Amino acid sequence: MTNTANKRKGGWWALSPLAVFLCLYLVTSLIVNDFYKVPITVAFLLSSCYAIALTRGLSLEKRVYQFSVGASNKNIILMIWIFILAGAFAQSAKQMGAIDATVNLTLSILPDNLLLAGIFIAACFISLSIGTSVGTIVALTPVAIGLAEKTGIDLPYMVAIVVGGSFFGDNLSFISDTTIASTKTQDCVMRDKFRVNFMIVVPAALVVLCIYIFQGLSISAPAQTQAIEWIKVIPYLIVLGTAVAGVNVMLVLLLGILSTGIIGIVTNETDISTAFFDWFGAMGTGITGMGELIIITLLAGGMLETIRYNGGIDFIISRLTRHVKGKRGAELSIAALVSIANLCTANNTIAIITTGPIAKDIAQRFHLDRRKTASILDTFSCLIQGIIPYGAQLLIAAGLAGISPISIIGSLYYPFTMGICALLAILVRYPRKYS
């Protein structure tokens, strides 16, 4: 039960735990030029302790309880389930050879110079079909890792292509929770919001696609000499097929895990019992490998709930809406509102739900088009969600690849290009029909 009855009048101090985390992890890492010097778990632990100590008017026991309310939020627990299943699938797929087979198939189909563009298009298409960036990242990241190993492409760069493409669909898809939240809070039709969004983000996607085509000209993959084991590609076909069909991501991963076990046992040259226990061992290794990611998610959820409880989000909303003048300023304030809310919640859907009613009031007051307002909410929330190192998308991509989430951010071409296009759309009043 979240203690929503006690509305706190927050100040800048209520947001200071987020500043402590960013200084401990991001700023320190940049200063020493090493993103592994300060473990992200330690940065979250210290900032979480600071957030608990900062909370006023409660006993220590109740402060810890309030922190735990955030950590045990249903969205956090659901995400942890996905992390567990993703770890089990990724490792069991690797152990039975599904990743190698899929990588070999990809290398044989795509020309070397279209490898980067092909992965980006695949991420865009899958995310548009299934409406979730997390599901896309879970499905494609292991393949991107395998391709990076085979071609010598920088691993964080390859993972960033998948993460960036995954936000194309997260922002546009009719079944995306951010699309549903933004249109419902602004009381507009999904297809109308889609038209506005399409005109803003498709140019960004085309620019990024051209960059990947150009950069792909220098890539030369090794000659494909290994025979493609088609049966071992089946787990990925099942995962991608069911995901595109709109099946729940947890069921998608369960089907993927089951298929890796069956095919692994059938194709294993040793006895069935050995193959069976190898499958179990691989799942256990994959789940254990997600331990740090789960700890980070719990600490982040608790810290961000403490910020909300202390009035941090309400404070920043009130500060940003005090001096709004004119349509351009109103749209910029909505963009800033949802961006800061996303920084404080690390969840783009929650950020939209939190700021949506205020955005609707601003839209009515300054006669903004509801379709443009819904587009701003969705686009800027996806921008921030795509670049914060403690967001679920970067955490799970980094966890699967075994790299720092910070190392991915510099190569996230699409989210940054999308953000620039969205900001220009506000400043130059584009699309004119909706501005």
The per-residue pLDDT for range 388-430, each reduced to its tens digit, is 988 889 989 998 998 989 899 999 999 999 999 999 999 998 8
Write the Ramachandran bin of 187: left for phi over 0, alpha for psi from -120 to 50, otherwise beta.
left
- Measured distance CA(416)–CA(423) in Å, rounded: 11
Helix axes 115-130, 155-172, angle to 10 degrees: 30
Digit-by-digit pLDDT tens for the chain (435 residues) are 344 445 566 788 888 998 898 888 878 877 877 766 778 888 889 999 999 999 988 899 999 999 999 899 887 888 788 888 888 888 888 888 887 777 777 767 777 788 899 899 988 888 886 777 887 898 889 889 988 988 889 999 999 999 999 999 888 887 688 888 888 889 888 888 888 999 999 999 999 999 999 998 887 766 554 667 788 888 878 887 887 677 777 888 899 899 999 998 888 766 787 788 889 999 999 899 888 878 888 898 898 889 889 988 788 777 877 777 788 999 999 999 899 888 887 888 878 877 887 888 888 888 899 999 999 999 999 999 999 988 889 989 998 998 989 899 999 999 999 999 999 999 998 888 887
- Measured distance CA(195)–CA(205) in Å, rounded: 15
Burial (CB < 10 A; 0-12, 13-18, 19+), residue 261, is buried
Q: pLDDT tens digits for 207-236?
A: 999 999 999 888 776 655 466 778 888 887
Give the HSE-up count for residue 310: Cα atoms under 13 Å, Cβ half-sphere.
27
Global pTM value: 0.76
Contact in structure between 105 and 228 (CB atoms under 8 Å)? yes
Rg of the chain, C-alpha, whole Å: 22
Per-residue burial over 8-40, b if 16 or more Cβ lie within 10 Å, else e, is bebeeebbbbbebbbebbbeebeeeeebeebeb
Residues 6+ apart with CB under 8 A from 36: 404
**Which of 357, 349, 415 is closest to 176 using CA atoms?**
349
Q: Which parts of 217-290 fold into alpha helices (H)?
A: 234-244, 249-267, 272-289
**Which of 381, 295, 327, 362 is closest to 39 using CA atoms?**
295
- Could you say which DSSP state residue 5 is in? S
Per-residue burial over 146-161, b if 16 or more Cβ lie within 10 Å, else e, is bbbebbebebbbbbbb
Beta-carbon count within 10 A of 114 CB: 16
